[in-house]
Chain A
Amino acid sequence: MMEKDSALQLAAAIAAGKLTAVEAAKQAFERIKATAGLNAVLPGGEESALAGAERVQREIERRLSAGEELPPLAGVPIIIKDNICVRGFKATCASKMLQGWMPPYDASVVRRLREHLLVPLAKSNMDEFAMGALGENSAFGAIKNPLDIQRSAGGSSGGSAAAVAAGLTLLALGSDTGGSLRLPAAYCGITAVKPTYGVVSRYGLIAFASSLEQIGPMARSAGECAALLDVIRGRDERDATSRDMEEVCIKKDMRQVKIGLVRELMDMAQLSADMRRAVEHTAGLFRALGAQVKEISLPQVKDAARAYFIISSAEASSNLARFDGVRFGLRADSTQNAEELMLHSRSQGFGREVKKRILLGTYALSAGYYDKYYLRARQAAERLKAAVNAALEEVDVLLMPSAPGVAPLLGADADEAGVYEADVFTVPANLTGLPAVSFPCAEGENGLPLGAQLMGREGSERQLLACVQAFEDLSDGQGKTQ
């Protein structure tokens, strides 16, 4: 029934009494069960979800009978990445370390979802502690791409992306530390927003790299992403880095919009030929809509992946120190003292990728190396930010690939440095704190989706989404093929 519907239409149907929030939730669970092989959604929480749906339905009926207006997404079920705390659902970060951990509180974004009468439905699989670009580093097994189950759904919000792409729910929340919303969105052919740093509260997001990450919406269209972003955005007194952001002026008419193509990213060796063509084609479509497109040079992006890796690992080494087996999560058996307890719990609880990054981050912060690594990475990030902001004086948005190409095959023995280098397209938005929207822009090999992203000034989410909307309207008319 909802293959072609949008979340807004589903909410309208619920408001019209054609369907209850409980029925919508139950139908979603049917779909989840039917597609369990994707490994996109983690088991558990069904009772909490249905109880939540019943509460929401009662509230919807109360408001309708009182003649009150309903929020635009009332009754719509949503899947939430497993690093975001939701009362009544385990929050494991797809790690053995947190297996079975029930958070005693809702993340601030979840509180807002509930206030807007959305229904938290289930938790999605992910790379352990959000570390990974392929959705393979999960203690609960790799996530499969619903468009081709041999392929990666991307990471780390792979479960959320796969769920939306498979139509399990129309909406999902993920998080993005270095591309974790945009990369899986690109691989699964959906749209995702990495908001400006601070626009969405991180309270209740289990931290990987605090200075880089944001929670963001995933859906099949710009309009749905915009509606969901409106629900979760805004200052939260529980997150000192959150703020209300003034919306930068929106140019809905593409003839007023100037778009920059970043030459250095287009020239990257790892960029596939069809991805390059797809971005150029996308630029062409924007031009057809009347936008000005010009090439921009940002040589600073060449340092971005390395700077990102150092900063994110450094912060992770500290953020993940609390998983020590003392208060919650996995605790190693038969240890002799506190030091052994912590050592063994951490050795047993964390997966390989997480351990590697903790070690790297610890090294980068150590006496004698702090200046050499951490500080220099910070400086590189500052230089990049200054350069990107300068570029955004000349143009309104930057158009870039979201990924090197289509979703890679699962289990492909990609060399690790290569995997990290793929981040080069997405990490600039995290290092600069600027918003970026990834959207499906074309089809590549085997008809698999290719994703492009638009990055803009601070607080310009609506502008970016307006551009994507204009692109959707045009390409829907023409078909998405090149």
Chain B
Amino acid sequence: MRGYETVIGLEVHVELDAGSKIFCGCRPQFGAPPNTIVCPVCLGLPGALPVLNRGAAEKGIAAALALGCRVNRVSAFDRKNYFYPDLPKGYQITQFFRPLAEDGSLCCTREDGTVFSVGIERIHLEEDAGKLVYDDEGRTLVDYNRCGVPLIEIVTRPDIRSGQDAACFVSALRRVLKEAGVSPCRMQMGELRVDVNLSVRKKDSQALNTRTEMKNLGSIKAVARAAQYEAERQIGVIEQGGSVLQQTLGWDEELQRNYIMRTKEDAQDYRYFPEPDLGPLVVEKEWIESVKRSLPETAAQRAERLKVQFDLREDTAQMLAEDEECTAYFEQVIASGANARMAANLITGELKRLCRQAGERPGSGRIPAAELAELTRMAGQKIITLSAAKGTVLEEMFASRAGAMEVAGRLGLIKTGQEEPLDDLIYRVLQENGDAVRKYVDGNKKTLGFLMGQLMRLSGGRIDPAEAQQRLIRQINREV
């Protein structure tokens, strides 16, 4: 945008699927009647004390591992002090000075297949607050059911460069966290909430300028739109000679615009200090190892395994590993006897493209694994040409859901072994198109395309175009 670059860092709150609240035994339940999932501890009654639920810590560790973070052997809890009716103790227990985990990253793939990586600065454990409810009589009520629900906050580095990429990161993050069993990440239920920190700068600048924070974006679309809107607003301010103010913003879904929640002047002093009621959280190696063993394979681990096991290119392996379904499909195709590289290329290339057009995913099974394997076998044994396999045959299989052999037969693409030899075909083409051959020899290389077209037509598509072109050129050169 007019020589500007957007710089985005995210803070993502994720509700942990830990079975109970973080510091008491209450079992969170979405949609329960107000103030029924509470006890002296999460209500902050006088005298009640928090005790860390190890299950919550374990989910935090799982998230850290899935995002490639270093889990600190010793982390600790702190109090963030502020007054608000939904905060029963007058402070939130969080990890401010010593977070659970630090320094990870997440690799994301854009729609066009390009890849970018986002650094994870830290992951810390904390408790959720309650919820204000406004009734018909204009009263403000408080529901403490959500109080003490275990959360992790994931803080990224300012590595994201557009609202689209921010949305893409959140999708990737959701997938990884769901896979790792950390959380179902249902944004509509508040299980994943995103704050966007955004600033803009001149394209060649490395400066981090004054940023604004957009709080609590409730959908992936809102992340993309709010960021896009805010980037344009900030550029507009700068272009008009103004300067961006440090503000906290909210996103108005109806008006599709941001509104100001508070400015820097009323920034709170949270008076963080170590939580005296909880000891340090010590995570020994054995604990990390046991969490690791219980984790399903992550996309990155899958990619690495596929790469090594089937000798694939890195980017191909990554694309196959992107979702579990796709990996499983690829593995079924291999189990049905397919050539690994050819199958991988088909799935991540032509099949993926067809699927995208149809709004499906490669692993959805429209083409049975055995049939895709058959297609690679036919191409491998030169029963049909590779180009036919990747092109018309695959397209027709996808469209008609018919088998590889049937489609190839129907389209007449099966080599019978009694076709006119390729050299004879080339001879005929050269004979019938003397003018074009001369032009080619005189330096008009475009006519080669015309000659190839004639050759493919004569062969009925049963020849391999790459090989045919090579031999065609060789023959012309020989004749001249």
Binding site for B on A (CB under 8 A): 83-85, 91, 93, 98, 101, 103-105, 107, 202-207, 209-211, 237-241, 314-315, 317-318, 320-324, 326-328, 338-339, 342, 362, 365-367, 370, 374
Contact = CB atoms under 8 A, between A and B. Distances in A.
A84 B48 CA distance: 11
B12 to A, nearest CB: 26
Contacts of B271: 317-318, 362, 365-367, 370
B68 interface: no
Interface in B73-125: 79, 81, 83-85, 88-91
A84 B50 CA distance: 17
B242 interface: no
Contacts of A103: 45-47
Interface stretch (B156-164, B246-254, B273-281, B350-358): B273-281
Nearest to B269: A367
B245 to A, nearest CB: 20
Contacts of A342: 83, 85
A358 B390 CA distance: 75
A240 B50 contact: yes
A322 B90 CA distance: 5
B95 to A, nearest CB: 15
A241 B279 contact: yes
A202 B49 contact: yes
B200 interface: no
B43 interface: yes
Contact of A321 (B49, B51, B90, B140): B90
A206 B40 contact: no
A317 B82 CA distance: 11
Contact of B85 (A93, A105, A317, A326): A326
Interface residues of B, number: 30
B142 interface: yes
Contact of A240 (B43, B46, B79, B278): B278
Contacts of B273: 314-315, 318, 365, 370, 374
A188 B403 CA distance: 97
28 contacts: A91-B47, A104-B40, A105-B47, A203-B47, A204-B47, A205-B47, A206-B46, A207-B47, A207-B277, A209-B276, A239-B51, A240-B277, A240-B278, A241-B277, A241-B278, A317-B271, A318-B79, A322-B89, A322-B90, A327-B43, A327-B44, A327-B45, A328-B46, A338-B140, A342-B83, A342-B85, A365-B272, A370-B271
A91 B46 contact: yes
B89 A85 contact: no
B45 A328 contact: yes
Contacts of A91: 46-47
Interface in B418-471: none
Given A210-B276, A241-B277, A321 B83 contact: yes
Contacts, number: 106
Nearest to A314: B273
A341 B346 CA distance: 67
Contacts of B79: 318
B51 A238 contact: yes
A318 B90 contact: yes
A85 B49 contact: no
Contact of B44 (A203, A314, A322): A322
Contacts of B91: 318, 321
Nearest to A339: B83
B52 interface: yes
Given A105-B47, A210-B276, A328-B46, 16 more contacts: A83-B47, A84-B47, A103-B45, A104-B45, A107-B47, A202-B49, A207-B277, A238-B49, A315-B276, A322-B89, A324-B83, A327-B88, A328-B45, A339-B83, A370-B271, A370-B273
Given A237-B51, A241-B277, A321 B81 contact: yes
A324 B84 CA distance: 9
B46 to A, nearest CB: 4
A203 B277 CA distance: 10
A160 to B, nearest CB: 17
B47 to A, nearest CB: 4
A8 to B, nearest CB: 29
Contacts of A328: 45-46
A84 B89 CA distance: 18
B18 to A, nearest CB: 17
A204 to B, nearest CB: 4
A166 B90 CA distance: 40
A326 B129 CA distance: 14
A374 B49 CA distance: 23
Nearest to A367: B269
Contacts of A322: 44, 46, 88-90
B232 to A, nearest CB: 34
Nearest to B77: A240
Contacts of A83: 47
A458 to B, nearest CB: 15
B258 to A, nearest CB: 25
A137 B83 CA distance: 26
Nearest to A92: B46
A365 B276 CA distance: 14
Rank and list the top 6 A-B pairs by shortest CB-CB distance, nearest first.
A321-B90, A211-B276, A365-B271, A210-B276, A206-B46, A204-B47
B48 A203 contact: yes
B79 to A, nearest CB: 5
Contacts of A203: 47-49
Nearest to A369: B271
Contacts of B269: 366-367
Contacts of B272: 365, 370
A309 to B, nearest CB: 15
A85 B90 contact: no
Nearest to B268: A367
Nearest to A329: B46
Nearest to B84: A338
B103 to A, nearest CB: 26
A370 B274 CA distance: 11
A479 to B, nearest CB: 43
A239 B277 CA distance: 8
A98 B40 CA distance: 16
Nearest to A98: B46
A362 to B, nearest CB: 7
Contact of B81 (A237, A241, A318, A326): A318
Specify which of A238, A321, A326 lies most central, judged by the most chain B CB atoms within 10 Å of its CB.
Answer: A321
A282 to B, nearest CB: 34
Contacts of B142: 326
Nearest to A201: B49
A433 to B, nearest CB: 12
Interface in B266-322: 269, 271-273, 276-279
A297 B447 CA distance: 104
Tell me which of A85, A93, A205, A327 has the highest count of chain B C-beta atoms within 10 A of its own C-beta.
A327
Contacts of A207: 46-47, 277
A240 B49 contact: yes
